Structure 1
Amino acid sequence: MIRRAGVGDFDRLREIEVAAGAAFRDVGMPHIADDAPPSDADLLAFVDAGAAWVSEVDGVVAAYLVAERVDGRVHVAQVSVDPAFRGLGLGAALIDHVDDGGGVTLTTFADVPWNAPYYRRIGFRVVEPTGGLREVVRREAEAGLDPATRVCMVRG
């Protein structure tokens, strides 16, 4: 079941983020694994904008997605799945849920198996950043993400 996220979900969303992020240690990216999960203020901004969703499995929040508008399209700012629920298609279902038919964008790591290669399998393609996507890449770089390791992708 997919539903809008609320303030009561914030602790669980952070748990998911930490658990999902731990896998980055296995690909030599401990700095990503150690990155702090989103703050209440960050999550509240998405909730207040009506741009935060969770996927539940048997009443347990198992995945979440937060989005924004970039260049007139839905932009996936973050999608994370609890590793205990990996392989159920929850991330893809959340992306499908927010797809309003105008295309979906995201930025991701080019060479991490569950990032760009995964998104290619569910219909995304790499694009050069233009307009708002350039701004997203700039903000990511300010936050410590190396733009040389990242790609912009679009579906639709």
Structure 2
Amino acid sequence: MKIRAGQDGEFAALQEIERAAGQCFRDVGMAAIADDEPPGDRMLRGYARAGGLWVVDDEEDTGDRTGPVAYALTEPVDGCLHIEQISVHPSRSRRGIGRRLLDHLDRRAAADGLPALTLTTFADVPWNGPYYRRLGFRELPEETLPPGLRRIRRSEQEHGLDRWPRVCMRRETGGRAPSRQRGEREGGAGQERARLLPAE
């Protein structure tokens, strides 16, 4: 598995990952999330140029997929590295890819002197809030949120994401996610659909 900076010319592949990963939300009655359009080219290009687009190439040759199998969008918010989006193609779920991508982002943030990773997610969807808790993230009370996370939460509310409970979460940098338990669903991070900005 190789984690690298994303590039122009592969945005269509990343959008296909996003659409495929979002389909699991239909199983929990969240069709509106499954139907949400992925980030457009302009948004992805903006993240790429700012150094906040990360792509995973799975070097395992299974014959069922080539090219990128996962990606993440990140940006600095409140002095931390905020994970705006992280998605893994369902054909590569339960293989630890989302976990390793998070660990990569953790190391990058620590190297840049950032104290923590932050994200927002659905509180109760099994591959969202519970998944991140197992990976060492903790919930932040709404009343304690710094200005950047408050703005993100307001944007989520304006775009209707609060139809389902949402939480902000934080993990201090410099640590690794706990080892996955046998049989545990992996790919929760990869099917996050936590996008905050309107699709183009």
With the shorter chain as reference, the TM-score category is: over 0.9
Identity %: 51
Q: CA deviation at 1:118?
A: 0.3
Alignment RMSD (CA, Å): 1.2
Alignment of 1:1-150 (within 5 A): 1-58=2-59, 60-99=67-106, 100-101=109-110, 102-128=115-141, 129-146=145-162, 149-150=165-166
Q: Gaps (5+ residues) in structure 1?
A: none
Q: CA deviation at 1:60?
A: 2.6
**Which whole-Å CA distance do the structure 2 matches of 1:147 and 1:154 have between them?**
22
The 3-state SS of whatever aligns with 1:18 is helix
Q: Which has the higher strand share?
A: 1
What letter matches 1:92 in structure 2?
R
Q: CA deviation at 1:147?
A: 7.0
CA contact (8 A) 2:122 2:164 kept: no
Deviations 1:42-81 (A, max 9, x none): 1111001010001111253110000011110000000000
Larger Rg: 2
Higher relative contact order (CA 8 A, sep 6+): 2
Q: Which residue of 1 is the match for residue 175 of structure 2?
A: none
The 3-state SS of whatever aligns with 2:155 is helix
CA contact (8 A) 2:18 2:87 kept: yes
**Which whole-Å CA distance do the structure 1 matches of 2:102 and 2:166 have between them?**
19
After the TM superposition, list the runs of 4 or more consecutive aligned residues in structure 1 that deviate by more than 3 angstroms: none
Q: Gaps (5+ residues) in structure 2?
A: 60-65, 173-200
Deviations 1:97-129 (A, max 9, x none): 122222100000001000010001111010123
State the TM-score, normalizing by the size of structure 2.
Answer: 0.75
**Which whole-Å CA distance do the structure 2 matches of 1:84 and 1:26 have between them?**
17
What letter matches 1:43 in structure 2?
L
Q: CA deviation at 1:36?
A: 0.7
The 3-state SS of whatever aligns with 1:119 is helix
How many residues matched?
Answer: 156
What is the aligned counterpart of 1:152 among 156, 168, 174? 168
The 3-state SS of whatever aligns with 2:20 is helix
State the TM-score, normalizing by the size of structure 1.
Answer: 0.96
